[in-house]
Structures are given as structure tokens and as C-alpha cells.
């Protein structure tokens, strides 16, 4: 009966050890289940040359056409090496889970003693009995940690997709703004050249000429800044896409997408975020794991070393002896109270951290939704009110110029003001698409919210508007 009781944990450990194996996809199944509905792209680990070739071919196909936001996200999820490093870390965690399910190696000792004519040989095989008894609990804890790592990896995937989408919007807006700033500079250059010629024949005073030259200088500087910003935003996008060499020569569309006809209405945005945000789920899993660790610590507070050994001694002058032994560390000086107190403190820390995560999630999603609604209203007002007003003013001034009621400088100043209004609309449109990307991310995980107000890259106001 005693032998059967000793063999029961060993049989259970053998059963668990036989079940411990690696998943065929490296643990990416749950990650793709969480992320693919939001990204439209499954993540895959790049491990072999065939994986590299397949990824390079797909990236080349996507770069052959003008890059869209969805294509940029697909390339980032396929080709970003930082993400691949995170996927490799997931494989490391899975290896820990498998290792926790493997049986500990037994120990074997062999000894030979000789006293006169007597020769004694001692052989023993020993197992870590404590490790065998706690093996199911340890494997369960490692499995929980693996699930938490999968949730964190899914969160990294979604954050990469959000950052890529925002970088795409920034790069495209910068390209479009540069084109309009170039038009402003050309108009300012024409105005400055006309002012110089008129000053040469005495039809323009020095103050008027200086104003036009000053605006031309400001427009030239504004174009240089716009070009620098375009280069910087494009390079940020390139880094997220993991591109290099000839791949960096990809083409972007000419303009940002238009505003959608309607805005999304999310009356219960907080509850939606709490139900599906990955950071809240990860915090909940961490708290549950800490609670289990606390229970394990309380159970094993008196057991530090427990080993089971099988002994076989033989001698040439006496019969062979067989038996077993158990070694146990006695808790004379350390009763484990400090370890239990530490585990309880860690548990309370985890509880408060989970509550803090939920509070931040609620606040973030409220801020993201408010930014999204206000950005839409601002962009729509700029598109429906400001830009048409500038266009009507331009049409009226053109009629007056054709009737010789105003001069060419007034017409050029009005053209500059009209271009400035369009550049402002580009900026408000950029803010809307960034706000939408932030809202999408805030509903499923922590979002790096863009500032509600950003420096406007637009044309300087026409200096000669009062001529």
C-alpha cells in the first residue's frame, strides 16, 4: 500500500510529461484569433529561408501599387523585425511551458569502498519528489504565464498596426501639404518678381516691394520645412514597414481619403472597451495567476527540499541490501512567513494594478471618442464652410480683376489665401484620420493618443492681401 502511494505521483507526472509538447504554430493561434479581426492579417514567424522568400515576395507585390493604409499594415505585420523578435519571445515562453511539463531527470550515484578484504559497492537512484508532487501546479502556472504572454503579444501586434496606420496618414498628409506649399511658393515668387519689375519702372514703392519679397522668403522657408517634414514622416513609415534598399522607393497616393459621410455613434463606448481591451484582460489574468501563486506559497511554506531515493548496497561479504530514503529540510530557523507575506503583498499590488488599468482604459476611450467626434466636426466645417467661402471670394475677385477693378497683386494675394485654406483642410483631415486610428486602438488596447491640437503646417497668410 505504501509503495502504491509513492508511485501515484510518479504515474501522474509521467502522464503530464507525455502530454507536454509544442504547438504547431508556436502559440500564434490565440494571437491571430485576437488580432486578425482588427487587422485583416495573420502574423507569422519568419524562421527559415522559405519564410523569408515568401515574405519578400508578398511585400514586393504590395509595394508594386501605390501604398494604401491597409497594405501598409499588412507589410508591417509581415516584415517588421521588432514584431518578429516579440514572436520569438513567445516561443521562448512556450518552451518554458513545455519544460514545466517534462519530468525532472533522476539522479544516480555510485560508490565503491574497500576495507581490508571487504569490498562494498553502493548504488542509489533518487528523484526530486517535491518537484514531482508540485509538477501539475507548476505547469498550470506556466500555462497561465504563456496565456498572458500571448495576450501581450496580441497587444503589440495591434499597437504596431495602429502606429503604422497613423504613420501612413502623417506621411500622406505631409506629401499633400508639400504640394500645396509649392504652389504657394510659386505664387509668391511670381508676385515678388512682378513687384521687382514694377519698382524698377517707378510704379511700386519700396514698402510694397519689400512686403512681396518678405512673403516670398517666408513661402520658400515654409516649403523647405514642409519637404523636411515629408521626409521625416516617410522615414518613420519606412521603419515601421521594415523596408530597406530599393523597397523604400514605394509610391503613396496623391491625397488623403475624404471624410466618411457619417460619424460612428458609440453611446456605450466604455463598456465596450472594458469588455474587449487586451490590457484589461491581461491584468485580470495576472491577478488570477498571482492568487494561485499565493495559494502555492502557503501550501509549500514548510517544504523546501523533499527528495525520494532508492538505494541498493552490495558487498562481497554480506547480502545485498535494498531500500529507499526521504530527505526533508527541517524548518527550524525559517518558517516561510516572509515568503507568504511577500506573496500577499504582490497579490495586492496586482489587484491595484488591474484596477488602475481599468480606470485608464475608461478614460482613454472617452478621450479618444471625444477627439474623434470633434475632429470630424472640425474637418467637415472646414470642408463645407471655409473652403467654399474662399472659393467664392476667389471667383468674385477674378471677376473684378477681369473688369480691371482690382490689380494683379490683389488677385495673387487671394490665390495664396485660397491655397492656405485648402492646406488647413488637409491638416484637419489628417487630424480626423489620426483620431479614428486612436479610437480603433483605444477600443482594444492602450492607445498613444495624438494631441488634440497640433501645429498646423499651412501656408503663411498673404502679406499683400490688403493691397
Q: Which pLDDT score, from 0 to 100, does residue 120 have?
A: 74
Cα–Cα dist 414/420, whole Å: 10
Is 256:437 a contact under the CB 8 Å cutoff? Answer: no
Q: Which pLDDT score, from 0 to 100, does residue 305 have?
A: 42
Is 444:38 a contact under the CB 8 Å cutoff? Answer: yes
In this structure, the chain runs to a length of 467
Which residue did the predictor score with more confidence, 135 or 305? 135
Q: Which pLDDT score, from 0 to 100, does residue 466 have?
A: 37
Torsions phi, psi for 35 (to 5 deg): -100, -35
Domains of the chain, CATH where assigned: 2-442 (1.20.1600.10)
Tens digit of each residue's pLDDT (9 = 90 or more) over 295-317: 645 544 444 444 445 555 555 55
Cα dihedral angle (364, 366, 367, 373), rounded to 10 degrees?
A: 140
- Nearest Cα residue to 447 out of 363, 375, 374: 363
Cα–Cα dist 465/467, whole Å: 6
Which residue did the predictor score with more confidence, 401 or 440? 440
Instruction: State how far the alpha carbon of 241 is from the alpha carbons of 64, 237, 256, 441, 463, in Å.
Output: 15, 6, 19, 19, 42
Torsions phi, psi for 264 (to 5 deg): -70, 140
- Nearest Cα residue to 370 out of 424, 449, 445: 449
CB atoms < 10 A from the CB of 203, how many?
10
Q: Which pLDDT score, from 0 to 100, does residue 327 have?
A: 53
Instruction: State how far the alpha carbon of 151 is from the alpha carbons of 21, 98, 148, 199, 261, in Å.
Output: 20, 19, 5, 70, 35
Identify the weakest region by mean pLDDT among 25-39, 137-151, 312-326: 312-326
Identify the weakest region by mean pLDDT among 301-310, 315-324, 359-368, 379-388: 301-310
Cα–Cα dist 111/123, whole Å: 6
Cα–Cα dist 310/427, whole Å: 78
Q: What is the model's pTM?
A: 0.74
Cα–Cα dist 94/85, whole Å: 14
Cα–Cα dist 169/252, whole Å: 10
Q: Residue 249 has which C-alpha cell?
A: 522607393
Measure CA 166 to chain center. 12
Residue 172, classified by CB atoms within 10 Å of its CB into exposed (0-12), middle (13-18) or buried (19+), is buried
Mean of the pLDDT values across residues 343-363? 83
Torsions phi, psi for 125 (to 5 deg): -120, 130
Amino acid at each position: 500500500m505504501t509503495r502504491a502511494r509513492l508511485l501515484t505521483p510518479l504515474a501522474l507526472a509521467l502522464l503530464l510529461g507525455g502530454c507536454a509538447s509544442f504547438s504547431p504554430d508556436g502559440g500564434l493561434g490565440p494571437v491571430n484569433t485576437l488580432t486578425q479581426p482588427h487587422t485583416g492579417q495573420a502574423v507569422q514567424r519568419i524562421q527559415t529561408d522559405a519564410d523569408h522568400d515568401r515574405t519578400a515576395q508578398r511585400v514586393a507585390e504590395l509595394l508594386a501599387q501605390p501604398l494604401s493604409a491597409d497594405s501598409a499594415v499588412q507589410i508591417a505585420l509581415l516584415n517588421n523585425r521588432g514584431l518578429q523578435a516579440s514572436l520569438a519571445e513567445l516561443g521562448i515562453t512556450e518552451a518554458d511551458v513545455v519544460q514545466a511539463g517534462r519530468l525532472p531527470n533522476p539522479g544516480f550515484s555510485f560508490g565503491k569502498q574497500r576495507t581490508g578484504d571487504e569490498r562494498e559497492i553502493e548504488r542509489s537512484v533518487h528523484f526530486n519528489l517535491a518537484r514531482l508532487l508540485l509538477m501539475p501546479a507548476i505547469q498550470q502556472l506556466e500555462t497561465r504565464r504563456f496565456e498572458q504572454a500571448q495576450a501581450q503579444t496580441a497587444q503589440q501586434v495591434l499597437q504596431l498596426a495602429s502606429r503604422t496606420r497613423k504613420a501612413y496618414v502623417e506621411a500622406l498628409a505631409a506629401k499633400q501639404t508639400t504640394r500645396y506649399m509649392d504652389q504657394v511658393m510659386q505664387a509668391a515668387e511670381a508676385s515678388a518678381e512682378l513687384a521687382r519689375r514694377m519698382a524698377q519702372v517707378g510704379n511700386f514703392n519700396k514698402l510694397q516691394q519689400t512686403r512681396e519679397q518678405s512673403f516670398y522668403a517666408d513661402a520658400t522657408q515654409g516649403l523647405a520645412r514642409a519637404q523636411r517634414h515629408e521626409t521625416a514622416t516617410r522615414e518613420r513609415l519606412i521603419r515601421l514597414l521594415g523596408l530597406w534598399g530599393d523597397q523604400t522607393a514605394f509610391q503613396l497616393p496623391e491625397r488623403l481619403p475624404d471624410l466618411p459621410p457619417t460619424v460612428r455613434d458609440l453611446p456605450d463606448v466604455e463598456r465596450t472597451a472594458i469588455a474587449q481591451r487586451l490590457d484589461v484582460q491581461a491584468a485580470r489574468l495576472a491577478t488570477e495567476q498571482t492568487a494561485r501563486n499565493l495559494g502555492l506559497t502557503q501550501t509549500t511554506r514548510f517544504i523546501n527540499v523533499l527528495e525520494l531515493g532508492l538505494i541498493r548496497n552490495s558487498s562481497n561479504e554480506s547480502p545485498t541490501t535494498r531500500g529507499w530514503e526521504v530527505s526533508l529540510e527541517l524548518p527550524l530557523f525559517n518558517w516561510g512567513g516572509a515568503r507568504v507575506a511577500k506573496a500577499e503583498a504582490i497579490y495586492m499590488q496586482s489587484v491595484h494594478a488591474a484596477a488602475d488599468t481599468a480606470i485608464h482604459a475608461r478614460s482613454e476611450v472617452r478621450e479618444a471618442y471625444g477627439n474623434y467626434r470633434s475632429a470630424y466636426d472640425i474637418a467637415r466645417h472646414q470642408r463645407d464652410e471655409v473652403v467654399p467661402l474662399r472659393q467664392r471670394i476667389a471667383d468674385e475677385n477674378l471677376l473684378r480683376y477681369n473688369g480691371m477693378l482690382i490689380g494683379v497683386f490683389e488677385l495673387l494675394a487671394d490665390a495664396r489665401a485660397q491655397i492656405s485654406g485648402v492646406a488647413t483642410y488637409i491638416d484637419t483631415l489628417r487630424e480626423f484620420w489620426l483620431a479614428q486610428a486612436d479610437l480603433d486602438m483605444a477600443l482594444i488596447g492602450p492607445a498613444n493618443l495624438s494631441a488634440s491640437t497640433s501645429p498646423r503646417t499651412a501656408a503663411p497668410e498673404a502679406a499683400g492681401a490688403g493691397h
